[in-house]
Amino acid sequence: MERAMRDLTNEIIELIRRTSTRLPADVEERLRAAIEKEAPGSAARNALETILKNIELSRQKSTPICQDTGTPIFYVHYPEGWSTRALREQIRNAMAEATKRSYMRPNAVDAIYDRNTGNNLGGDDFPYIHFEEVDADQPLVIELMLKGGGCENVGRQYSLPDNELGADRDLAGVRKVVLDAVQKAQGQGCAPGILGVAIGGDRSSSYLKSKEVLFEKIGVRNPDPELAKLEERLTEEANQLGIGPMGFGGQTTVLDTKIVGLSRLPASYFVTVSYMCWAYRRRKMIVRGDQVEYE
Amino acid sequence: MREITIPIDDEVIRSLHVGDSVALTGIMVTARDAAHKWMVETFIKKTRPPQGEDEQVYEALKKLLNGGVIYHCGPVVSKDENGEYHFLAAGPTTSIREEPYQADVMKHFNVKGVIGKGGMGAKTLQGCRETPGVYFHAVGGAATFLAQTVEKVHGVYKLEFGVPEALWVIEVKEFPAVVTMDAHGQSQHAIVDAASRQVLEELLNKPY
């Protein structure tokens, strides 16, 4: 029980700093590989080159990759016996301090009174914190994703069948609506993007899971071979749309697609697409006893 | 890469075309959602009476924006021990949210350039023709990189909107952007949208 009292506020500030200022290596690799697909001198290629310079500079200077430091989404896997109330308080204190240190932009705006709280602390839902209990002998793992508003705004949810798109309640229909979502997003979600797709659920669980699946690394495929095939096909076909980096036109519109299947009601068949911008910021910290590791 | 100095005159604006790369130098003003709504309601449509320092801010903006540039940006800002502000991260935000307001703001203040990302719609394109003005696209998310071009923060208006939504007056040197909507009615965004819609139609008709 004693370790449950350990104060991790400073370690969580470091998690926030790393997440905001250092893009994960798997994302940077994909962006680097995408450059070669764009024509020399094209706006698309220049945009990707600027993106890579920015990633490097942000890392060096320890400043946010994107000024929109987004919705902070924490997933906390805590060993049995830890206090979630204490962890929540530490996360909130860390968030306020990280904002003071300019790792985060003050992003929590009261929607009714239109006031920015100035410290990234809104109600219970901001920052968003999800707790999941694990066995007492397991490490504490805190994952953080920062999802910007531009890409959040282009997310979409479809209720199938969709007559306009000719999308039935099957994977063929799923494919159609996901491609429609990418076309409608154009460059506004800061393409090239990463797609999190949830099939099923209710309106809220479907959105939630379409984001949760984005905690996985690029290239991790759904264990179901048919869904894995659809993930790859969607990435390839989305790139045929020619929207390109920033919507300038080009070969690289989507870097990866991740699908998660959920339970649904007989009456409902939701397909939810969460669009993640190229500034795909996600990191985790693992706490084993006194040791804290960052990934 | 073409060097452009702010304020910009009409001749320079008309010489710019979709696809041109530019480097902007001079003073610009950040303004996004709250600022656009406030400008239109208070000074253009006048559906809301000016409050507090609104009139003084308006007088200052009229000078700054005449021939000037609006940047759709909500920066990360630090304040040093001397009380001076610095931009740490300052990429563009999605511009389409200002579509209801932008053309009116451009015409009212004689704004020559709007910088943002994602492009804007038909109403703003018409505003670009009439003002005349252009839309400059900066690289979304390239926030640390673009903040390097901000040499000085001259001041801030309407800080009560919050740091991201306030109007920051900044001096930039060689801010890189691409013209994606020009004063001749051309829009790269309309072109890409139409072409991608056609590909989508073809893909939707393919068997699974």
| Residue A143 shares a structural domain with residue A155 | no
The predicted structure's pLDDT at residue A5: 63
CA B73 to chain centre: 8
Whether A116 and A172 share a structural domain: no
If asked whether residues A14 and A141 sit together in one domain, one would say: yes
Side-chain-facing half-sphere of A227: CA atoms under 13 Å: 15
Question: Are B141 and A148 within 8 A, CB to CB?
Answer: yes
| Interval A2-34: pLDDT, tens | 455 689 999 999 999 999 999 999 999 999 999
Cβ(B146)–Cβ(B139) under 8 Å?
yes
Q: Do B118 and A61 touch (CB under 8 A)?
A: no
Query: Does A138 share its domain with A163?
Result: no
Residue A185 has pLDDT above 70, yes or no: yes
| Domain assignment present for A215 | yes
User: Could you say which residues from 19 to 58 on chain B have a Cβ atom under 8 Å away from some Cβ of chain A?
Assistant: 19, 21, 34
Do A128 and A11 lie in one domain? The reply is yes
* Nearest residue to A254 via CA among A206, A207, A192: A192
**Which residues in chain B have Cβ-Cβ distances shorter than 8 Å to A69?**
76
Show residues of chain A in contact with B199, CB under 8 Å.
Answer: 240-242
A171 and A75 within one domain: no
Helix then strand count (H, E) for chain A reads 8, 11
Q: What is the pLDDT of residues A189-230, one digit of tens each?
A: 999 999 999 999 999 999 999 999 999 999 999 999 999 999
**Are B199 and A246 in contact (CB < 8 Å)?**
no
Does A247 share its domain with A182?
yes
The 10s digit of each residue's pLDDT in A44-67 is 999 999 999 999 999 999 999 999
Within a domain: A229: yes
Residue A129 placed within a domain: yes
For chain B, how long is the longest CA-to-CA vector?
Answer: 65
Check CB contact under 8 Å for B162 and A67: no
- In tens, the pLDDT along A159-176 reads 999 999 999 999 999 999
Say if residues A2 and A29 touch (Cβ distance below 8 Å): no
**A63: nearest CB among B139, B144, B165:** B144
Query: Which residues, other chains included, contact A57 with Cβ-Cβ below 8 Å and sequence gap of 6+?
Result: A63, B144, B145, B148
Asked if residue A125 has pLDDT above 80, the reply is yes
- Whether residues A156 and A240 fall in one domain: yes
pLDDT of residue A1: 47
pLDDT, tens digit (0-9, with 9 covering 90-100), for B122-152: 999 999 999 999 999 999 999 999 999 999 9
- Provide the shortest C-alpha distance from residue B90 to chain A (in Å): 5
Distance from CA of A243 to the nearest CA of B (A): 6
Q: Is B60 on the interface with A (CB under 8 A)?
A: no
Q: Which domain holds residue B31?
A: 2-205
pLDDT at A6: 83
Residue A41 lies in a domain: no
Q: Are residues A131 and A264 in the same domain?
A: no
Interface contact flag, A246 B147, Cβ < 8 Å: no
- CATH number, residue B93: 3.20.130.10
pLDDT of residue A2: 47
Give the domain range for residue A13: 2-20+65-148+281-294
Task: Establish if A166 belongs to a structural domain.
Answer: yes
- Contacting residues of A for B144, CB less than 8 Å apart: 54, 57-58, 61, 63-65
Statement to judge: residues A139 and A184 lie in one domain: no
The ipTM (two decimal places) reads: 0.95
Phi/psi region, residue B206 (left: phi>0; alpha: psi -120 to 50; beta: rest), is: beta
Query: A231 in a domain, yes or no?
Result: yes
Q: Answer yes or no: is A60 within a domain.
A: no
Q: Identify whether residues A207 and A81 lie together within a single domain.
A: no
CA distances for B30 relative to B42, B61, B108, angstroms: 18, 11, 17
Residues A156 and A199 placed together within one structural domain of the fold: yes
Q: Domain containing A138 — which CATH number? A: 3.30.1330
What is the separation of C-alpha A43 from the centre of its chain, rounded to a whole number of angstroms? 26
Whether residues B188 and A248 touch (CB distance < 8 A) is answered with yes
Residues of chain B with pLDDT under 70: none
| Number of structural domains found in chain B | 1
Is it the case that residue A276 has pLDDT exceeding 50?
A: yes
Measured between beta carbons, the chain B residues lying within 8 angstroms of A121 are: none
Rounded to whole angstroms, what are the CA distances from B204 to A175, A191, A255, B192?
Answer: 9, 21, 21, 18
Q: Is residue B72 flagged as an active site residue?
A: no
**For residue A254, is pLDDT > 50?**
yes
The total of structural domains in chain A comes to 2
**Domain assignment of residue A73, yes or no:** yes
CA pair distance B1, B184, nearest whole angstrom: 20
Nearest to B196 among A69, A149, A241 (CB): A241
